[in-house]
Amino acid sequence: MNKKIRNVAIIAHVDHGKTTLVDKILHQCKLFGEHEKPGELIMDSNDLERERGITILSKNVSVSYNDIKINIIDTPGHSDFGGEVERVLNMADGVLLLVDAFEGTMPQTRFVLQKALEIGLKPVVVINKVDKPNCRPLEVQEEVFELMFNLDGSDEQLDFPTFYGSAKEGWMSDDVTKRTNDITSLLDGIIKYIPEPKVEEGPTQMRITSLDYSSYVGRIAIGKVFRGTLKANQQVAVIRKDKSVVKQVIKELFVYDGFQRKNVDEAESGELVAIVGLENFEIGETIAHIDHPDQLDPIAVDEPTMSMLFTINNSPFYGKEGKYVTSRHIKERLEKELEKNLALQVHDTDSADKFNVYGRGILHLSVLIENMRREGYELQVGQPQVLYKMIGAQKSEPFEELTIDVPDEYSGTVIEMVSQRKGEMKNMIRKGDRINVEFEVPSRGLIGLNNQVLTATAGEAIMNHRFIEYRPTVGPIKERQNGSLIAMESGTAIAYALHKLQDRGKFFVAPGENVYAGQVIGQNTREGDLVLNVTKTKKLTNMRASGSDDKVLLAPPIEFSLEDALEYIEKDEYVEITPKRIRLRKILLDENDRKRAKMKS
Q: Of 178-182, 430-434, 542-546, which one has max mean pLDDT?
A: 178-182
Report the CATH superfamily, name and number, of domain 484-559: bipa protein (2.40.50.250)
Closest residue by Cα to residue 471 from 401, 391, 397, 421: 397
The answer to whether the CB of 484 falls within 8 A of the CB of 504 is: no
Other CB atoms within 10 A of residue 470 CB:
20
On the question of pLDDT at 576 being above 70, the answer is yes
Q: Which residues are annotated binding-site positions for GTP? A: 15-20, 128-131
Say yes or no to pLDDT of 147 above 70. yes
Portion of the chain with pLDDT greater than 70, in percent: 87
d(CA 565, CA 570): 10
Residue numbers in the known binding site are: 15-20, 128-131
CA distance to 373, 503, 525, per residue, from 535 (Å): 28, 17, 20
Of the ranges 31-40, 176-185, 454-463, which one carries the lowest mean pLDDT score?
31-40
Any idea which fold 205-289 has?
A: Elongation Factor Tu (Ef-tu); domain 3 (2.40.30)
Confidence (pLDDT) at 78: 53
pLDDT the model gives residue 550: 57
Would you call 438 helix, strand, or coil by DSSP?
strand
pLDDT tens profile 410-440: 889 999 989 988 889 988 888 777 888 889 9
CB 1, CB 200: distance < 8 Å:
no
Question: By mean pLDDT, which of 134-148, 437-451, 532-546 is the weakest?
Answer: 532-546
Considering the segment(s) 389-472 as one domain, its CATH architecture is: 2-Layer Sandwich (3.30)
Encode pLDDT of 477-515 as tens digits.
876 778 899 999 999 988 888 888 888 989 999 998 999
pTM score, whole prediction: 0.74
Fold of domain 5-193 = Rossmann fold (3.40.50)
Of 108-112, 121-125, 288-292, the one with minimum mean pLDDT is 108-112
The pLDDT > 90 percentage for the chain reads 12
287-312: average pLDDT: 82
**Would you call 382 exposed, middle or buried from its count of C-beta atoms within 10 A (0-12, 13-18, 19+)?**
buried
- Residue 278 has a pLDDT of 81
Given this model, what pLDDT does residue 43 score?
A: 41
Most confident of 57-61, 64-68, 365-369: 365-369
pLDDT at position 97, please? 87
Domain positions in the chain are: 5-193, 205-289, 389-472, 484-559
Average pLDDT for 102-115: 74
